[in-house]
């Protein structure tokens, strides 16, 4: 409880991210997932970045402020609170302007890209020293620090790509001969490197906690990070896949080694466990070369990153709301704040939609891919409803808890 941060630092980027993810999938449902020359397709580019920035990037920003103190076992310093109060709104504004740029107003997008990059760098420069100076949980911290290094590289590629979009490709030509090559590095560093690194690093802490299992030992975690990030840096998918396989085994041992806890954990943890299988499938697809690269990239997002984040959020957010507003005030348990039926439905829609989208890309069946995007939009909507419902139940319980005796808000 001593490591709690003000709830608005967490909920502003995470809550708005739910809306952006839904908007992105709705846009992609109407776009052409298999359209040739997608890099120059404004609506497809916009839809992808709505999902990625809203559904993945913003939640890492928000959840990171709360979970960094959990990793370091120290409260955030006052300076970090001030930085966090600026980073969230500036990242939201920067992303909004960037999306406007992707829809056509490219110079407005340049302003947004600059603001978003500066926001992420400011956040990183605050978080990295906190991770370095702490002790314990070496494996988790190695994953998170490596993820921050990947962030810096990914943002550099993002800036070069946008310069090329503005008509200044000279700097980009020093690193890659065509935009698609640069996009590949950009995606690898930011998706698998930064978002994936934070997800796997925190999963090695949170999943055993939820499943009543043991945290993976530090040595294998460090080895997995070395394989993972070496593969990304050297553009060697088999090396990256080896790190992913080791992490799946480590996290699977933590989950299934405590079968009693897993059976009682509910849909959120089961979705997170299935997301590990999605990571395994994406790793095998990337290392073997049996599937088209764009299908492997889609699999990374829709079979691993998003399902893992949805599953963990369905467990973390209710507890966070309870601890911030109800602890010591109400007997309402944290587990009752979320409707498990909505979480089950969300997990099903997200899982089926993700599988259908990837299958459509592999088979070059555009109709099937569109159906998958629609299923993912349904999953995003159900995830939004489950989080909003948890917030509404928390407010009702809090209002009853703080009501004066005899007032209408006191339960009868």
Query: Which phi and psi (to 5°) does residue 214 adopt?
Result: -95, 145
Which residue, among 199, 212, 202, has the nearest Cα to 262 in the 3D structure? 212
Is residue 410 assigned to a domain?
no
Length of the chain: 412
- Cα–Cα distance measured from residue 23 to residue 398, given in angstroms and rounded to the nearest whole number: 31
Is residue 408 assigned to a domain?
no
- How do residues 298-312 score in pLDDT, each as one tens digit? 999 999 999 999 999
Domain extent, residue 172, equals: 7-395
Residue pair 282/300 in contact (Cβ under 8 Å)? The answer is yes
Angle among Cα 389, 390, 392 to the nearest 5 degrees reads 65
Residue 95, pLDDT above cutoff 80: yes
Which residue, among 275, 274, 273, 298, has the nearest Cα to 286 in the 3D structure? 298
* Residue 79: how many other CB atoms lie within 10 Å: 9
pTM for this prediction: 0.90
> Number of structural domains, the chain?
1
Is residue 303 assigned to a domain?
yes
- How do residues 183-209 score in pLDDT, each as one tens digit? 888 889 999 999 999 999 999 998 888
Whole-number pLDDT of residue 410: 47
Residue pair 9/78 in contact (Cβ under 8 Å)? The answer is no
For residues 240-267, average pLDDT: 79
Is residue 112 assigned to a domain?
yes
- Cα–Cα distance measured from residue 335 to residue 351, given in angstroms and rounded to the nearest whole number: 23
**CATH assignment at residue 13:** 1.20.210.10
Is residue 2 assigned to a domain?
no
For residues 370-393, average pLDDT: 94
Whole-number pLDDT of residue 40: 58
Is residue 411 assigned to a domain?
no
């Amino acid at each position: 409880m001593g490591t709690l941060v003000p709830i608005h630092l967490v909920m502003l980027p995470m809550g708005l991210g739910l809306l952006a993810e839904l908007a992105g999938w709705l846009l992609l449902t109407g776009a052409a997932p298999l359209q040739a020359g997608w890099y120059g397709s404004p609506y497809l580019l916009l839809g992808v970045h709505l999902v990625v920035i809203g559904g993945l990037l913003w939640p890492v920003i928000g959840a990171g402020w709360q979970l960094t103190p959990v990793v370091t076992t120290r409260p955030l310093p006052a300076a970090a609170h001030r930085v966090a109060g600026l980073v969230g709104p500036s990242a939201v504004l920067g992303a909004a302007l960037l999306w406007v740029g992707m829809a056509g107003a490219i110079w407005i997008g340049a302003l947004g890209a600059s603001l978003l990059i500066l926001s992420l760098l400011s956040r990183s420069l605050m978080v990295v020293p906190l991770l370095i100076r702490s002790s314990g949980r070496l494996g988790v911290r190695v994953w998170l620090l490596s993820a921050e290094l990947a962030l810096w590289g990914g943002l550099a590629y993002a800036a070069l790509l946008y310069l090329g979009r503005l008509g200044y490709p000279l700097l980009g030509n020093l690193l890659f001969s065509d935009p698609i090559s640069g996009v590949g590095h950009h995606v690898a560093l930011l998706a698998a490197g930064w978002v994936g690194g934070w997800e796997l690093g925190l999963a090695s802490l949170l999943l055993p906690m939820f499943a009543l299992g043991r945290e993976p030992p530090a040595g294998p975690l460090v080895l997995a990070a070395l394989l993972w990030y070496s593969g990304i840096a050297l553009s060697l998918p088999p090396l990256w896949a080896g790190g992913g396989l080791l992490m799946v085994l480590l996290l699977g041992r933590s989950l299934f080694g405590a079968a009693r806890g897993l059976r009682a954990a509910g849909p959120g943890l089961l979705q997170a466990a299935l997301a590990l299988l999605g990571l395994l499938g994406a790793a095998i697809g990337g290392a073997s070369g049996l599937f088209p690269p764009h299908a492997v990239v889609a699999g990374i997002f829709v079979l691993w990153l998003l399902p893992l984040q949805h599953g963990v959020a369905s467990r973390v957010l209710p507890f966070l709301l309870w601890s911030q507003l109800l602890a010591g005030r109400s007997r309402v348990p944290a587990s009752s704040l979320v409707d498990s039926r909505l979480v089950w439905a969300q997990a099903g829609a997200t899982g089926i939609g993700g599988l259908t989208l990837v299958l459509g890309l592999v088979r070059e069946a555009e109709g099937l891919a569109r159906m998958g995007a629609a299923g993912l939009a349904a999953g995003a909507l159900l995830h939004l409803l489950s989080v909003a419902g948890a917030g509404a139940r928390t407010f009702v319980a809090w209002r009853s808890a703080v009501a004066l005796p005899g007032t209408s808000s006191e339960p009868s």
